[in-house]
Structure 1
Amino acid sequence: MLQYDEYGNRDNTTILLLHGAGALDTFCRQYCFSDKYHLVVPHLAGAGKTADEIYDPEKTVEELFVLINALQKKRIGVVGHSLGGQIAIMLVSRRPELFYFAVFLSAWVNPRPKTIRNYCSLAGLAAQMLHCKYLVRLQGKYWHYTAQQTDTMSEYSKLITPQIYRSFFANTLDLSKIPEYQMVKLPMMAVCGSRETGDMKTSLTLLAENPNCQTIILKKAGHDFPMRNSKELNPLLEKFILNQLENPFVFPLHIL
Protein backbone atom coordinates (compact mmCIF):
# COMPACT_ATOMS: atom_id res chain seq x y z
CA MET A 1 0.00 0.00 0.00
CA LEU A 2 1.11 3.56 -0.66
CA GLN A 3 2.97 5.22 2.18
CA TYR A 4 1.41 8.42 3.42
CA ASP A 5 1.66 11.22 5.94
CA GLU A 6 -1.33 12.21 8.01
CA TYR A 7 -2.30 15.24 10.03
CA GLY A 8 -5.16 15.77 12.47
CA ASN A 9 -7.62 13.50 14.27
CA ARG A 10 -8.63 10.31 12.44
CA ASP A 11 -12.13 10.64 13.88
CA ASN A 12 -12.73 13.76 11.80
CA THR A 13 -13.73 13.81 8.14
CA THR A 14 -10.82 12.65 6.00
CA ILE A 15 -9.52 14.71 3.10
CA LEU A 16 -7.09 13.13 0.65
CA LEU A 17 -4.47 15.66 -0.47
CA LEU A 18 -2.80 14.68 -3.75
CA HIS A 19 0.40 16.65 -4.25
CA GLY A 20 1.88 17.99 -7.46
CA ALA A 21 4.63 16.27 -9.44
CA GLY A 22 7.76 15.85 -7.34
CA ALA A 23 6.42 18.12 -4.58
CA LEU A 24 5.35 16.05 -1.57
CA ASP A 25 4.45 19.07 0.56
CA THR A 26 2.47 20.96 -2.06
CA PHE A 27 -0.17 21.55 0.62
CA CYS A 28 2.18 22.85 3.31
CA ARG A 29 0.01 25.98 3.62
CA GLN A 30 -3.17 23.89 3.89
CA TYR A 31 -1.97 21.53 6.63
CA CYS A 32 -3.56 24.03 9.02
CA PHE A 33 -6.90 22.43 8.08
CA SER A 34 -5.84 19.55 10.33
CA ASP A 35 -7.45 21.35 13.26
CA LYS A 36 -10.83 20.41 11.73
CA TYR A 37 -10.15 17.53 9.37
CA HIS A 38 -8.08 14.38 9.07
CA LEU A 39 -5.60 15.02 6.25
CA VAL A 40 -3.96 12.16 4.36
CA VAL A 41 -1.02 12.89 2.03
CA PRO A 42 0.04 9.85 -0.03
CA HIS A 43 3.61 9.71 -1.35
CA LEU A 44 2.91 9.60 -5.08
CA ALA A 45 5.47 8.33 -7.60
CA GLY A 46 8.33 10.79 -8.05
CA ALA A 47 8.13 12.28 -4.55
CA GLY A 48 8.80 11.41 -0.92
CA LYS A 49 9.36 7.74 -0.20
CA THR A 50 8.43 6.77 -3.77
CA ALA A 51 10.63 9.38 -5.45
CA ASP A 52 12.49 6.66 -7.35
CA GLU A 53 9.35 5.33 -9.06
CA ILE A 54 8.17 6.24 -12.57
CA TYR A 55 4.69 7.74 -12.57
CA ASP A 56 2.05 5.37 -13.91
CA PRO A 57 -1.46 6.88 -13.57
CA GLU A 58 -3.32 3.56 -13.71
CA LYS A 59 -1.11 2.00 -11.04
CA THR A 60 -1.42 5.11 -8.90
CA VAL A 61 -5.22 5.16 -9.09
CA GLU A 62 -5.46 1.50 -8.09
CA GLU A 63 -3.06 2.04 -5.18
CA LEU A 64 -5.11 5.00 -4.01
CA PHE A 65 -8.32 2.99 -4.03
CA VAL A 66 -6.59 0.42 -1.83
CA LEU A 67 -5.54 3.20 0.53
CA ILE A 68 -9.02 4.75 0.58
CA ASN A 69 -10.58 1.40 1.44
CA ALA A 70 -8.05 0.92 4.23
CA LEU A 71 -9.13 4.21 5.81
CA GLN A 72 -12.53 2.61 6.50
CA LYS A 73 -14.48 5.81 5.95
CA LYS A 74 -17.90 5.89 4.30
CA ARG A 75 -16.82 8.87 2.22
CA ILE A 76 -13.90 11.27 2.06
CA GLY A 77 -13.01 14.50 0.31
CA VAL A 78 -10.21 14.84 -2.24
CA VAL A 79 -8.10 17.85 -3.22
CA GLY A 80 -5.40 17.55 -5.87
CA HIS A 81 -2.93 19.99 -7.39
CA SER A 82 -1.47 19.73 -10.90
CA LEU A 83 -0.59 16.04 -11.37
CA GLY A 84 -2.54 15.33 -8.19
CA GLY A 85 -5.51 17.18 -9.66
CA GLN A 86 -5.43 14.91 -12.71
CA ILE A 87 -5.43 11.88 -10.43
CA ALA A 88 -8.33 13.30 -8.41
CA ILE A 89 -10.37 13.58 -11.61
CA MET A 90 -9.68 9.92 -12.38
CA LEU A 91 -10.67 8.85 -8.87
CA VAL A 92 -14.04 10.60 -8.76
CA SER A 93 -14.85 9.62 -12.34
CA ARG A 94 -14.45 5.94 -11.50
CA ARG A 95 -15.78 5.76 -7.94
CA PRO A 96 -17.77 8.95 -7.16
CA GLU A 97 -19.65 7.20 -4.36
CA LEU A 98 -16.48 7.24 -2.25
CA PHE A 99 -16.34 11.04 -2.07
CA TYR A 100 -18.15 13.99 -0.54
CA PHE A 101 -16.50 16.47 -2.89
CA ALA A 102 -13.52 17.02 -5.16
CA VAL A 103 -11.27 20.03 -5.75
CA PHE A 104 -8.98 20.22 -8.78
CA LEU A 105 -6.22 22.84 -8.56
CA SER A 106 -4.38 23.57 -11.81
CA ALA A 107 -5.32 20.24 -13.37
CA TRP A 108 -4.04 20.16 -16.95
CA VAL A 109 -6.39 17.96 -19.01
CA ASN A 110 -5.86 18.96 -22.65
CA PRO A 111 -2.37 17.72 -23.54
CA ARG A 112 -1.11 18.72 -26.97
CA PRO A 113 1.61 16.53 -28.52
CA LYS A 114 3.96 19.43 -29.25
CA THR A 115 3.65 20.82 -25.73
CA ILE A 116 4.24 17.39 -24.20
CA ARG A 117 7.34 16.91 -26.39
CA ASN A 118 8.69 20.28 -25.29
CA TYR A 119 8.31 19.46 -21.60
CA CYS A 120 9.77 15.98 -22.03
CA SER A 121 12.78 17.41 -23.87
CA LEU A 122 13.69 19.31 -20.70
CA ALA A 123 13.80 16.16 -18.56
CA GLY A 124 17.58 15.85 -18.54
CA LEU A 125 18.19 19.44 -17.49
CA ALA A 126 15.34 19.37 -14.97
CA ALA A 127 16.72 16.24 -13.31
CA GLN A 128 20.17 17.84 -13.03
CA MET A 129 18.65 20.86 -11.31
CA LEU A 130 16.67 18.63 -8.94
CA HIS A 131 19.93 16.96 -7.92
CA CYS A 132 21.39 20.32 -6.87
CA LYS A 133 20.63 20.67 -3.16
CA TYR A 134 21.20 24.43 -3.22
CA LEU A 135 18.59 25.01 -5.94
CA VAL A 136 16.07 22.68 -4.30
CA ARG A 137 16.51 24.50 -1.00
CA LEU A 138 15.87 27.82 -2.71
CA GLN A 139 12.69 26.36 -4.18
CA GLY A 140 11.58 25.15 -0.77
CA LYS A 141 12.10 28.60 0.71
CA TYR A 142 10.17 30.23 -2.14
CA TRP A 143 7.28 27.82 -1.51
CA HIS A 144 7.23 28.61 2.23
CA TYR A 145 8.31 25.09 3.19
CA THR A 146 9.51 24.49 6.73
CA ALA A 147 13.17 23.59 7.23
CA GLN A 148 12.21 19.93 7.64
CA GLN A 149 10.06 19.92 4.51
CA THR A 150 12.88 21.55 2.56
CA ASP A 151 15.40 18.99 3.84
CA THR A 152 13.06 16.16 2.87
CA MET A 153 12.61 17.53 -0.65
CA SER A 154 16.34 18.08 -1.14
CA GLU A 155 16.99 14.44 -0.23
CA TYR A 156 14.33 12.70 -2.30
CA SER A 157 14.82 15.00 -5.32
CA LYS A 158 18.21 13.37 -5.89
CA LEU A 159 16.33 10.19 -6.82
CA ILE A 160 14.28 11.79 -9.60
CA THR A 161 15.74 10.65 -12.92
CA PRO A 162 15.05 12.11 -16.38
CA GLN A 163 12.78 9.10 -17.00
CA ILE A 164 10.74 9.86 -13.89
CA TYR A 165 10.50 13.56 -14.74
CA ARG A 166 9.45 12.69 -18.29
CA SER A 167 6.71 10.39 -16.96
CA PHE A 168 4.98 13.33 -15.25
CA PHE A 169 4.26 14.89 -18.64
CA ALA A 170 4.08 11.85 -20.92
CA ASN A 171 1.16 10.59 -18.83
CA THR A 172 -0.82 13.84 -18.71
CA LEU A 173 -4.55 13.18 -18.41
CA ASP A 174 -6.66 13.72 -21.53
CA LEU A 175 -10.17 14.54 -20.28
CA SER A 176 -11.70 13.60 -23.63
CA LYS A 177 -10.75 10.00 -22.84
CA ILE A 178 -12.62 10.05 -19.51
CA PRO A 179 -16.30 10.21 -20.57
CA GLU A 180 -17.36 9.13 -17.07
CA TYR A 181 -16.35 12.56 -15.77
CA GLN A 182 -19.36 14.17 -17.44
CA MET A 183 -21.69 11.96 -15.38
CA VAL A 184 -20.17 12.74 -11.98
CA LYS A 185 -22.83 14.29 -9.73
CA LEU A 186 -20.91 15.17 -6.60
CA PRO A 187 -19.88 18.82 -6.03
CA MET A 188 -16.58 19.74 -7.63
CA MET A 189 -14.50 22.90 -7.84
CA ALA A 190 -11.68 23.62 -10.29
CA VAL A 191 -9.25 26.48 -9.73
CA CYS A 192 -6.32 27.92 -11.65
CA GLY A 193 -4.28 31.10 -11.44
CA SER A 194 -4.66 34.10 -13.73
CA ARG A 195 -0.93 33.91 -14.54
CA GLU A 196 -1.04 30.29 -15.69
CA THR A 197 -0.77 29.09 -19.28
CA GLY A 198 -3.55 29.18 -21.82
CA ASP A 199 -3.69 25.38 -21.74
CA MET A 200 -4.45 25.49 -18.02
CA LYS A 201 -7.28 27.97 -18.54
CA THR A 202 -8.64 25.85 -21.37
CA SER A 203 -8.57 22.90 -18.99
CA LEU A 204 -10.70 24.89 -16.57
CA THR A 205 -13.26 25.46 -19.32
CA LEU A 206 -13.30 21.75 -20.17
CA LEU A 207 -13.83 20.78 -16.54
CA ALA A 208 -16.73 23.24 -16.32
CA GLU A 209 -18.60 21.26 -18.99
CA ASN A 210 -19.79 19.13 -16.10
CA PRO A 211 -22.44 21.40 -14.50
CA ASN A 212 -21.49 20.15 -11.04
CA CYS A 213 -18.01 21.65 -11.34
CA GLN A 214 -17.71 25.32 -10.57
CA THR A 215 -14.57 27.13 -11.72
CA ILE A 216 -12.55 29.98 -10.27
CA ILE A 217 -9.52 31.90 -11.54
CA LEU A 218 -7.37 33.32 -8.75
CA LYS A 219 -6.10 36.79 -9.55
CA LYS A 220 -2.34 37.40 -9.66
CA ALA A 221 -1.64 33.70 -9.07
CA GLY A 222 0.73 31.34 -10.86
CA HIS A 223 0.85 27.56 -10.95
CA ASP A 224 2.18 27.26 -7.39
CA PHE A 225 -0.72 29.14 -5.78
CA PRO A 226 -1.39 26.50 -3.06
CA MET A 227 1.98 27.47 -1.56
CA ARG A 228 2.26 31.09 -2.69
CA ASN A 229 -1.35 32.33 -2.55
CA SER A 230 -2.80 30.47 0.42
CA LYS A 231 -4.38 33.63 1.84
CA GLU A 232 -6.67 33.72 -1.19
CA LEU A 233 -7.06 29.98 -1.69
CA ASN A 234 -7.70 28.78 1.85
CA PRO A 235 -10.93 30.75 2.44
CA LEU A 236 -12.31 29.36 -0.84
CA LEU A 237 -11.45 25.83 0.22
CA GLU A 238 -12.82 26.32 3.70
CA LYS A 239 -16.21 27.59 2.48
CA PHE A 240 -16.51 24.98 -0.22
CA ILE A 241 -15.60 22.04 2.03
CA LEU A 242 -17.83 23.18 4.90
CA ASN A 243 -20.77 23.61 2.55
CA GLN A 244 -20.40 20.09 1.19
CA LEU A 245 -20.13 18.48 4.61
CA GLU A 246 -23.11 20.38 5.98
CA ASN A 247 -25.17 19.68 2.85
CA PRO A 248 -23.78 16.49 1.28
CA PHE A 249 -24.09 16.28 -2.50
CA VAL A 250 -25.90 19.62 -2.78
CA PHE A 251 -24.22 21.82 -5.37
CA PRO A 252 -23.19 25.06 -3.60
CA LEU A 253 -23.62 28.66 -4.61
CA HIS A 254 -20.75 30.02 -6.65
CA ILE A 255 -17.95 31.15 -4.39
CA LEU A 256 -16.64 34.61 -5.22
Structure 2
Amino acid sequence: MYRSVFNDSRNINGIDVYYEYYLNEQSNETIVLLHGFLSSTFSFRRLIPLLNEDFNVISIDLPPFGKSGKSYNFIYSYENIARTVISLLESLDIRKISVTGHSMGGQISLKIASLRPDLVKKAVLLCSSAYLKRSKLPLILSSYIPYFHLYVKMWLIKSGVRNNLQNVVYDHSLIDEEMMYGYMKPFLEEDIFKAIARMIRDREGDLHSNALKQIETPCLLIWGEHDKVVPLSVGKRLTNELNNSKLIILKNTGHLLPEERPDEVYRHIKEFIYS
Protein backbone atom coordinates (compact mmCIF):
# COMPACT_ATOMS: atom_id res chain seq x y z
CA MET A 1 0.00 0.00 0.00
CA TYR A 2 1.32 3.43 -0.97
CA ARG A 3 0.61 6.19 1.50
CA SER A 4 2.00 9.70 1.81
CA VAL A 5 1.34 12.77 3.93
CA PHE A 6 1.04 16.40 2.87
CA ASN A 7 0.90 19.23 5.41
CA ASP A 8 0.03 22.54 3.83
CA SER A 9 -1.82 25.81 4.22
CA ARG A 10 -3.94 27.58 1.58
CA ASN A 11 -5.45 31.02 1.59
CA ILE A 12 -9.19 30.46 1.32
CA ASN A 13 -11.75 33.26 1.65
CA GLY A 14 -9.07 35.60 2.91
CA ILE A 15 -7.61 33.37 5.63
CA ASP A 16 -4.88 30.73 5.75
CA VAL A 17 -6.36 27.28 6.31
CA TYR A 18 -3.99 24.56 7.53
CA TYR A 19 -4.70 20.95 6.61
CA GLU A 20 -3.03 17.55 6.72
CA TYR A 21 -3.66 15.24 3.77
CA TYR A 22 -3.02 11.53 4.31
CA LEU A 23 -3.18 9.72 0.97
CA ASN A 24 -4.02 6.07 0.49
CA GLU A 25 -3.77 5.22 -3.20
CA GLN A 26 -5.73 1.99 -2.78
CA SER A 27 -8.81 3.81 -1.50
CA ASN A 28 -11.45 5.78 -3.38
CA GLU A 29 -12.99 7.06 -0.14
CA THR A 30 -11.98 10.35 1.45
CA ILE A 31 -12.79 11.26 5.05
CA VAL A 32 -12.56 14.88 6.18
CA LEU A 33 -11.99 15.45 9.91
CA LEU A 34 -13.25 18.58 11.65
CA HIS A 35 -12.28 19.22 15.27
CA GLY A 36 -14.13 20.93 18.09
CA PHE A 37 -13.98 24.35 19.76
CA LEU A 38 -10.58 25.28 21.24
CA SER A 39 -9.06 22.22 19.55
CA SER A 40 -7.19 21.33 16.33
CA THR A 41 -6.10 18.40 14.17
CA PHE A 42 -4.12 17.30 17.23
CA SER A 43 -7.32 15.85 18.70
CA PHE A 44 -7.41 13.25 15.90
CA ARG A 45 -3.78 12.11 16.34
CA ARG A 46 -4.79 8.62 17.54
CA LEU A 47 -7.61 8.18 15.03
CA ILE A 48 -5.87 9.31 11.82
CA PRO A 49 -3.39 6.39 11.53
CA LEU A 50 -6.26 3.92 11.90
CA LEU A 51 -8.47 5.62 9.32
CA ASN A 52 -5.59 5.96 6.89
CA GLU A 53 -5.34 2.18 6.68
CA ASP A 54 -8.60 2.26 4.68
CA PHE A 55 -9.22 5.83 3.56
CA ASN A 56 -7.72 9.04 2.30
CA VAL A 57 -7.87 11.40 5.27
CA ILE A 58 -7.93 15.20 5.32
CA SER A 59 -7.76 16.81 8.75
CA ILE A 60 -8.41 20.55 8.82
CA ASP A 61 -7.62 23.22 11.41
CA LEU A 62 -10.79 25.30 11.45
CA PRO A 63 -9.99 29.02 11.63
CA PRO A 64 -8.99 30.46 14.05
CA PHE A 65 -7.69 27.29 15.72
CA GLY A 66 -4.53 25.22 15.44
CA LYS A 67 -2.17 26.37 12.70
CA SER A 68 -4.84 28.15 10.66
CA GLY A 69 -5.04 31.93 10.39
CA LYS A 70 -6.33 34.10 13.22
CA SER A 71 -7.36 37.22 11.31
CA TYR A 72 -9.60 39.63 13.20
CA ASN A 73 -11.28 40.50 9.89
CA PHE A 74 -12.48 36.99 9.05
CA ILE A 75 -16.14 36.20 9.77
CA TYR A 76 -16.15 33.24 12.17
CA SER A 77 -19.76 32.23 11.65
CA TYR A 78 -20.40 28.50 11.25
CA GLU A 79 -21.76 29.10 7.75
CA ASN A 80 -18.65 30.99 6.65
CA ILE A 81 -16.36 28.38 8.20
CA ALA A 82 -18.37 25.64 6.44
CA ARG A 83 -18.11 27.48 3.11
CA THR A 84 -14.38 27.92 3.70
CA VAL A 85 -13.98 24.15 4.19
CA ILE A 86 -15.99 23.54 1.01
CA SER A 87 -13.78 25.98 -0.93
CA LEU A 88 -10.64 24.31 0.41
CA LEU A 89 -11.88 20.91 -0.77
CA GLU A 90 -12.74 22.35 -4.18
CA SER A 91 -9.21 23.78 -4.43
CA LEU A 92 -7.90 20.26 -3.74
CA ASP A 93 -10.22 18.87 -6.45
CA ILE A 94 -12.13 16.77 -3.91
CA ARG A 95 -15.62 16.07 -5.26
CA LYS A 96 -17.07 13.59 -2.75
CA ILE A 97 -16.37 13.07 0.93
CA SER A 98 -17.54 11.51 4.13
CA VAL A 99 -17.15 14.07 6.90
CA THR A 100 -16.42 13.34 10.56
CA GLY A 101 -16.89 16.17 13.02
CA HIS A 102 -16.26 16.29 16.74
CA SER A 103 -18.25 18.67 18.97
CA MET A 104 -18.32 22.05 17.17
CA GLY A 105 -16.89 20.25 14.14
CA GLY A 106 -20.01 18.10 14.11
CA GLN A 107 -22.22 21.16 13.80
CA ILE A 108 -20.06 22.48 10.95
CA SER A 109 -20.27 19.04 9.32
CA LEU A 110 -24.07 19.29 9.43
CA LYS A 111 -23.84 22.78 7.97
CA ILE A 112 -21.72 21.47 5.07
CA ALA A 113 -24.19 18.63 4.47
CA SER A 114 -27.02 21.18 4.46
CA LEU A 115 -25.23 23.53 2.06
CA ARG A 116 -23.78 20.88 -0.24
CA PRO A 117 -25.61 17.53 -0.07
CA ASP A 118 -23.97 16.62 -3.38
CA LEU A 119 -20.54 16.81 -1.72
CA VAL A 120 -21.20 14.86 1.47
CA LYS A 121 -21.76 11.13 1.02
CA LYS A 122 -22.05 10.35 4.74
CA ALA A 123 -21.53 12.18 8.02
CA VAL A 124 -20.16 10.92 11.34
CA LEU A 125 -20.99 13.11 14.33
CA LEU A 126 -18.82 12.58 17.42
CA CYS A 127 -20.56 14.18 20.43
CA SER A 128 -21.72 16.88 18.04
CA SER A 129 -22.70 20.33 19.16
CA ALA A 130 -26.42 20.93 18.65
CA TYR A 131 -29.17 23.34 19.68
CA LEU A 132 -26.80 26.01 20.97
CA LYS A 133 -28.26 29.48 20.48
CA ARG A 134 -26.39 32.60 19.52
CA SER A 135 -24.56 34.39 22.32
CA LYS A 136 -26.71 36.81 24.30
CA LEU A 137 -26.70 40.44 23.23
CA PRO A 138 -24.70 41.81 26.23
CA LEU A 139 -21.86 39.39 25.43
CA ILE A 140 -21.98 40.24 21.73
CA LEU A 141 -21.84 43.95 22.51
CA SER A 142 -18.98 43.36 24.94
CA SER A 143 -16.95 41.80 22.12
CA TYR A 144 -16.69 45.28 20.55
CA ILE A 145 -14.97 46.69 23.63
CA PRO A 146 -11.24 47.34 23.10
CA TYR A 147 -9.10 44.71 24.84
CA PHE A 148 -12.10 42.40 25.32
CA HIS A 149 -9.80 39.65 24.07
CA LEU A 150 -7.83 39.98 27.31
CA TYR A 151 -10.94 38.90 29.23
CA VAL A 152 -11.16 35.88 26.92
CA LYS A 153 -7.51 35.12 27.64
CA MET A 154 -7.99 35.45 31.41
CA TRP A 155 -11.04 33.14 31.28
CA LEU A 156 -9.09 30.46 29.41
CA ILE A 157 -6.07 30.75 31.70
CA LYS A 158 -8.30 30.54 34.76
CA SER A 159 -10.01 27.38 33.52
CA GLY A 160 -6.62 25.80 32.77
CA VAL A 161 -5.66 23.06 30.32
CA ARG A 162 -5.74 20.26 32.88
CA ASN A 163 -9.15 21.27 34.22
CA ASN A 164 -10.56 21.49 30.70
CA LEU A 165 -9.18 18.05 29.81
CA GLN A 166 -10.56 16.55 33.02
CA ASN A 167 -13.95 17.88 31.98
CA VAL A 168 -13.86 16.21 28.55
CA VAL A 169 -12.08 12.93 29.36
CA TYR A 170 -13.78 10.24 31.44
CA ASP A 171 -10.58 8.36 32.35
CA HIS A 172 -8.24 11.01 33.76
CA SER A 173 -5.27 8.64 33.61
CA LEU A 174 -5.16 9.33 29.85
CA ILE A 175 -4.10 12.93 30.54
CA ASP A 176 -0.33 13.20 30.23
CA GLU A 177 2.18 15.95 29.44
CA GLU A 178 2.03 15.30 25.70
CA MET A 179 -1.74 15.70 25.66
CA MET A 180 -1.65 18.84 27.83
CA TYR A 181 1.01 20.52 25.67
CA GLY A 182 -0.73 19.55 22.43
CA TYR A 183 -3.95 21.27 23.48
CA MET A 184 -2.15 24.25 25.03
CA LYS A 185 0.30 25.01 22.18
CA PRO A 186 -2.08 26.93 19.85
CA PHE A 187 -2.92 29.31 22.71
CA LEU A 188 0.64 30.50 23.10
CA GLU A 189 -0.07 32.98 20.28
CA GLU A 190 -1.73 36.25 21.33
CA ASP A 191 -3.82 36.60 18.14
CA ILE A 192 -5.95 33.55 18.99
CA PHE A 193 -7.72 35.46 21.78
CA LYS A 194 -8.67 38.33 19.48
CA ALA A 195 -10.05 35.85 16.96
CA ILE A 196 -12.08 34.00 19.60
CA ALA A 197 -13.51 37.35 20.73
CA ARG A 198 -14.58 37.92 17.12
CA MET A 199 -16.02 34.39 16.97
CA ILE A 200 -18.22 35.13 20.00
CA ARG A 201 -19.72 37.95 17.93
CA ASP A 202 -20.05 36.04 14.64
CA ARG A 203 -21.33 32.62 15.74
CA GLU A 204 -24.94 32.46 14.62
CA GLY A 205 -26.06 29.47 16.66
CA ASP A 206 -26.58 25.84 15.71
CA LEU A 207 -28.94 24.61 13.00
CA HIS A 208 -32.56 24.70 14.13
CA SER A 209 -34.85 21.69 14.08
CA ASN A 210 -36.46 22.51 10.74
CA ALA A 211 -33.06 22.67 9.03
CA LEU A 212 -31.93 19.42 10.66
CA LYS A 213 -35.05 17.59 9.46
CA GLN A 214 -34.25 18.58 5.88
CA ILE A 215 -30.83 16.88 5.90
CA GLU A 216 -31.04 13.58 4.02
CA THR A 217 -27.34 12.65 4.33
CA PRO A 218 -26.89 9.36 6.24
CA CYS A 219 -25.52 10.24 9.67
CA LEU A 220 -23.82 8.07 12.29
CA LEU A 221 -23.84 9.61 15.76
CA ILE A 222 -21.29 8.29 18.27
CA TRP A 223 -21.62 9.55 21.85
CA GLY A 224 -19.83 9.12 25.14
CA GLU A 225 -22.13 7.86 27.88
CA HIS A 226 -20.63 10.35 30.36
CA ASP A 227 -20.25 13.39 28.08
CA LYS A 228 -20.37 16.47 30.33
CA VAL A 229 -20.01 19.00 27.50
CA VAL A 230 -22.71 17.81 25.09
CA PRO A 231 -24.88 15.41 27.13
CA LEU A 232 -26.18 12.16 25.68
CA SER A 233 -29.71 13.62 25.77
CA VAL A 234 -28.61 16.01 23.00
CA GLY A 235 -27.43 13.08 20.90
CA LYS A 236 -30.75 11.30 21.34
CA ARG A 237 -32.71 14.38 20.32
CA LEU A 238 -30.43 14.96 17.34
CA THR A 239 -30.89 11.36 16.22
CA ASN A 240 -34.66 11.80 16.28
CA GLU A 241 -34.50 14.94 14.13
CA LEU A 242 -32.07 13.67 11.50
CA ASN A 243 -34.08 11.59 9.04
CA ASN A 244 -31.39 9.04 8.21
CA SER A 245 -29.39 8.51 11.38
CA LYS A 246 -28.19 5.99 13.93
CA LEU A 247 -26.84 6.53 17.45
CA ILE A 248 -24.06 4.48 19.06
CA ILE A 249 -23.29 5.00 22.76
CA LEU A 250 -19.83 4.21 24.14
CA LYS A 251 -19.76 3.29 27.83
CA ASN A 252 -17.21 4.69 30.27
CA THR A 253 -16.44 7.47 27.80
CA GLY A 254 -16.61 11.25 27.99
CA HIS A 255 -16.63 13.98 25.36
CA LEU A 256 -13.21 13.53 23.73
CA LEU A 257 -14.00 10.38 21.72
CA PRO A 258 -11.06 10.49 19.26
CA GLU A 259 -8.63 10.48 22.19
CA GLU A 260 -10.51 8.10 24.49
CA ARG A 261 -11.84 5.44 22.09
CA PRO A 262 -9.95 5.71 18.76
CA ASP A 263 -10.16 1.97 17.98
CA GLU A 264 -13.90 1.74 18.57
CA VAL A 265 -14.58 4.99 16.73
CA TYR A 266 -12.50 3.76 13.78
CA ARG A 267 -14.35 0.44 13.68
CA HIS A 268 -17.76 2.12 13.70
CA ILE A 269 -16.72 4.63 11.03
CA LYS A 270 -15.36 1.89 8.78
CA GLU A 271 -18.51 -0.19 9.07
CA PHE A 272 -20.67 2.87 8.42
CA ILE A 273 -18.74 4.10 5.36
CA TYR A 274 -18.69 0.67 3.71
CA SER A 275 -22.28 -0.26 4.58
TM range (shorter): 0.7 to 0.9
User: How many angstroms apart in 2 are the aligned matches of 1:231 and 1:127?
Assistant: 31
- Cα distance in 1 for partners of 2:24, 2:228 equals 38
Alignment of 1:7-156 (within 5 A): 7-9=22-24, 12=27, 13-24=29-40, 25-32=42-49, 33-50=51-68, 52-53=70-71, 55-111=76-132, 123-128=152-157, 153-156=183-186
Contact 2:165-2:175 within 8 A present in 1 as well: no
**Residue 17 (structure 1) shift:** 0.3
The farther-off stretch of 223-232 and 168-177 is 168-177
Superposition deviation, residue 8 in structure 1 = 2.7
Moved more, 50-59 or 220-229: 50-59
Matched, 1:242 2:274: yes
Alpha-carbon deviation of 1:74? 3.3
1:136/1:154 contact within 8 Å kept: no
Query: For structure 2, which runs of at least 5 residues remain unmatched after alignment?
Result: 1-11, 144-150
Choose between structure 1 and 2: higher strand proportion: 2
Q: Distance in 2 between matches of 1:6 and 1:145?
A: 27
Which residue identity does 2:79 align to in structure 1?
A: E
Identity of aligned residues (%): 23
Contact 1:108/1:200 (8 A) holds in 2: no
Q: How many residues align?
A: 239
User: Residues of 2 paired with 1:150 and 1:74: CA distance?
Assistant: 36
Preserved CA contact (<8 Å) 2:43 2:258 = yes
Out of 205, 227, 235, the position equivalent to 1:196 is 227
Q: CA deviation at 1:91?
A: 0.4
Per the alignment, residue 257 of structure 2 pairs with 225
For the aligned residues, what is the CA RMSD?
A: 3.9
Letter paired with 1:212: N
The separation in 1 between residues aligned to 2:83 and 2:96, in whole angstroms, is 17
Task: Give the TM-score normalised by structure 1.
Answer: 0.75
Which amino acid in the other structure matches residue 39 of structure 2? A
Q: Is the CA contact 2:36–2:105 (under 8 Å) kept in the aligned structure 1?
A: yes
* Unaligned runs of at least 5 residues, structure 1: 244-256
Return the alpha-carbon distance in structure 2 between the equivalents of residues 56 and 108 of structure 1: 14
Aligned 1:178-197 pairs, distance under 5 A: 179-197=210-228
Paired residue for 1:210, among 226, 242, 246? 242
Is the partner of 1:206 in helix, strand or coil?
A: helix
Question: CA–CA distance in 2 between the matches of 1:224 and 1:117?
Answer: 31
